[in-house]
Homo-oligomer: A and B are copies of this chain.
Amino acid sequence: MPGEFDFISWIRTQIPSAAGVVVGPGDDCAVLAPSTRDQVVTTDTLMDGVDFKLRDCGPVAAGRKAMLVNLSDIAAMAGRPTSALVSLCLPKSWEIAVGVFEGIRQIAHDFQVAIIGGDTNSWDGPLVISITMIGEVTGRGAVLRSGARPGDWLFVTGPLGGSITGRHLNPVPRIREAIDLHDRYSLTAMIDLSDGLARDLSHIARESRCGVELITEQIPIHRDATTIPQALSDGEDFELVFAVAPEDGVRITRDRPDCFRIGQCVESGLWLIDKGQRKPLIPAGWQHTLDHPGG
């Protein structure tokens, strides 16, 4: 019966080395050369039965999704991904292990991310894939959630809603788009849409200490969805929402057919302008819940 060390040896034959990686997988730690720019670091853990259904999608798709959602977080900072660490809780099956790793390898190859380390475990529980992704900012630094100001225009990089029908497994991390937008315009705040537009915008509003006003008619609905509530609350679109000052907003509206204006930042509150009427925008969307003794 092969064990984790056979698997790790196999992984090491599959992973290309990369600039800046002094020591890759196979020691107690990876060693990275000093960086000249700020680094961005994120971690996302995906669980069978919650973030994917292994029986339906198979291990390759699960491995791909785990990489893609981490890349989306790097995109949300306008970062360039460089390396990743992969921790696995594997059902005791070599085929699942190889499939998950094949999915990870595909995306690592597509986005030129070096797999620099990980932890391979087996157990009787469901598949868990935990990835930590490291990147670096471009010359203009990271785009945070906290810089939006009242009057800024809000844009989204694609149509929203209905990802649960399948698209959630294979999102397109907007790495290239984010770096390009950040280079051409002054992005004041950005976030990737994982929990649903309304909820994720509430994060921008809170961190930027401002309000947000969406215009129903301007929200692009994906063909996988049919209604505005879906576009507002369905999770895992993995598009980017960003804010810019009005002068940049005018340029983007004119020059970027891939970006949709959906509203603006205001002094306070979360609002939806629907057929000319201002209504409260409920930050509904996905979140994990914890049973509380008093709750």
Q: Which residues of B contact A122 (CB under 8 A)?
A: 288-290
- Contact, CB under 8 Å: A44 / B119: yes
Most B Cβ at <10 Å: residue of A32, A41, A92, A293: A41
Q: Which residues of B contact A94 (CB under 8 A)?
A: 290-293, 295
- Contact, CB under 8 Å: A295 / B2: yes
User: Could you tell me the distance between the alpha carbons of A190 and B127 in the complex, rounded to whole angstroms?
Assistant: 32
Most B Cβ at <10 Å: residue of A29, A88, A123, A144: A29
Q: Which residues of B contact A38 (CB under 8 A)?
A: 22, 31-34
Task: Give the segment of A3-11, A158-166, A213-221 that binds chain B.
Answer: A3-11
- Do A287 and B4 contact each other (CB < 8 Å), given the known contacts A23-B144, A142-B23? yes
Q: Which residues of B contact A5 (CB under 8 A)?
A: 287
Contact of A1 among B4, B22, B290 (CB under 8 A): B290
What is the copy number of this chain in the assembly?
2
Q: Is A95 an interface residue (CB 8 A)?
A: yes
A residues contacting B by CB (< 8 A) are 1-5, 7, 22-23, 26-45, 47, 49-50, 73-74, 76-77, 79, 85-90, 92-95, 97, 116-126, 128, 130, 132, 134-135, 137, 142, 144-146, 190-192, 207, 287-293, 295
User: Could you tell me the distance between the alpha carbons of A293 and B41 in the complex, rounded to whole angstroms?
Assistant: 37
Q: Which residues of B contact A4 (CB under 8 A)?
A: 287-290
Chain B residue nearest to A49 in the complex (CB): B123
A35 to chain B, nearest CB (A): 5
A77 to chain B, nearest CB (A): 5
- Contact, CB under 8 Å: A29 / B76: yes
A139 to chain B, nearest CB (A): 13
User: Could you tell me the distance between the alpha carbons of A37 and B88 in the complex, rounded to whole angstroms?
Assistant: 29
Q: Which residues of B contact A76 (CB under 8 A)?
A: 28-29
- Do A41 and B290 contact each other (CB < 8 Å), given the known contacts A29-B142, A36-B34, A77-B31? no
